[in-house]
Amino acid sequence: STVGVIGLGYIGLPTAAILADHGVTTIGMDVSERNVTAVNNGEVPFVEPGLREVLERAVSSGALTASTQTPVADAYIVAVPTPFTDTHSADLSYIEAAADGIAAKLSGGELIILESTSPPGATEHMAARILAARPDLGPADIMVAHCPERVLPGKIMEEMISNDRIIGGLTPAAAEAAKDLYSAFCKGEFLLTDARTAEMAKLTENSFRDVNIAFANELSVISHKLGIDVWELIELANHHPRVNILQPGPGVGGHCIAVDPWFIVDAAPEQANLIRTARETNDAKPEWVLGRIEQALEASGEAPTVALLGLAFKANIDDLRESPSLHIAEKLAQRAPDAKILAVEPHIQKLPAPLEQFGNVALTELDEALERADVLVLLVDHDVFKSLPKSRLGSAAVIDTRGIWR
Ligand code: SAJ
């Protein structure tokens, strides 16, 4: 049997490569001609440890091919983006486009799995859209399930195989069929439920983390006001057997935790108060950091030099999506035109587009930044920054948003 994987991004490509590497005939589909060509050449269009080897094997064995057309297949996995709109509701247009492509290829009896993180009801919506396009088919002619991905970028190849999987079927038979498909490579436990619960479970996991980080971020603002070291505070509190507080930082970034809780808020706006407040708390953190930087700049006299260490959304990656650090850099460049801003990000080679337009920002080597800065702002806890001896910080005013130089 043949599996079609729709969307060859961070999730779809590893899934397709691993499926094919386990002997399943797999056809990947992506709207980007460039991605498709790269995949057919066994090349990975983004950074993910371990993916290249598996992809090369899958392509050279002939088990994996890619195309810009939706293939005819026995089962489909949809792994397309679900961004959010300006009003914080989910944009289902990529899922709808995938559904339309699949609908045109069905002959009845196929399994269709939605993996994209989705608001409650999206799987039903996808099924309804497919059936609306194919009046010759009835609900009993297709099997539809939601199986959210939960892999951590940077560890995708491991977690894809070892993580437990929640599978929510529109019918129990659809959930069973999806379980059979994932059994080809997944060694984790399979947890079968209905589609809405599966959708909500994924959103709940990321909201749990967001709420916990918001708690830490609020504690850091309170502690700063009270003259208390928040990292010591959290470390002490976490010695309690039933307390486990996460770490404060300059805000929450990435394409998951900063997005998914909004889908819950959008689905139940009157009820989701804590979840909304957590999102707002985390989104407000970059502004608070900016305030501290502006204070430090004022104190250091005319035309000060400020070094921003880290632009990525978290440690040891090159991903800038929804990055609070990048946001801080951009806002600072706008608001402090007299300051010289040295951005240090060892994982990228050129200044990212949002910063290019500012004449007062330069991408700088760490050594040079340390030498020149009047104000040093630590934004990302990359290993290269963590391993700096304190003596290297010199006489600069230090704002350490991650607590690595305490
Ligand atoms: N962060 C903090 N303090 C912390 C932990 C994280 O400020 O204590 C910040 C990070 O710096 C980053 C953001 O939160 O800006 C998110 O980073 P992350 O490492 O918590 O999560 P992601 O976005 O890389 O991946 C998450 C994971 N979800 C959970 O751990 C519940 C991953 O398993 C999901 O598959 C992924 O979202 C996803 O795709 O939904």
268 pLDDT tier (thresholds 50, 70, 90): very high
Average pLDDT over residues 282-301: 97
pLDDT tens profile 32-64? 999 999 999 999 987 789 999 999 999 999 999
Of 220-224, 316-320, 374-378, 393-397, the least confident: 316-320
Catalytic residue among 147, 179, 186, 256: 256
Q: What is the pLDDT of residue 48?
A: 86
Please give the number of the atom of ligand 1 that sits closest to the Cα of 154.
24
Determine the Cα–Cα distance for residues 217 and 230; give it in Å rounded to an integer.
Answer: 9
Provide, rounded to the nearest whole percent, the portion of the chain with pLDDT above 70.
100
Going by C-alpha positions, the residue among 115, 195, 192 that lies closest to residue 156 is 115
Please give the number of the atom of ligand 1 that sits closest to the Cα of 315.
11
Asked whether the CA dihedral 151, 147, 182, 102 is positive or negative, the reply is: negative
Of 109-113, 213-217, 239-243, 252-256, the least confident: 252-256
Provide the CA 66 distance to its chain's centre, in angstroms.
24
Distance 152 CA to ligand 1 centre (A): 8
Examine the residue annotation and report whether 390 is marked as an active-site residue of this protein. Answer: no
Average pLDDT over residues 321-347: 97
β-strand partners of 377: 308, 399
Distance 385 CA to ligand 1 centre (A): 20
Kindly report the CA angle at 63 between 59 and 65, in degrees rounded to 5? Answer: 60
Number of helices (H) and strands (E) in the chain: give both, helices first. Answer: 15, 13
Q: What is the pLDDT of residue 318?
A: 86
Average pLDDT over residues 182-208: 98
98 pLDDT tier (thresholds 50, 70, 90): very high
Examine the residue annotation and report whether 256 is marked as an active-site residue of this protein. Answer: yes
Determine the Cα–Cα distance for residues 144 and 178; give it in Å rounded to an integer.
Answer: 9
pLDDT beyond 90 at 154: no
Q: Which helix (H) or strand (E) holds 218?
A: helix 195-226
331 pLDDT tier (thresholds 50, 70, 90): very high
Average pLDDT over residues 177-191: 98
Count of C-beta atoms within a 10 Å radius of residue 19: 25
Average pLDDT over residues 308-319: 93
Going by C-alpha positions, the residue among 153, 92, 163, 156 that lies closest to residue 127 is 92
Q: Which domains does the chain have, with CATH numbers?
A: 2-188 (3.40.50.720), 212-400 (3.40.50.720)
Residue 49 identity (one-letter amino acid): P
β-strand partners of 143: 111
Determine the Cα–Cα distance for residues 241 and 2; give it in Å rounded to an integer.
Answer: 49
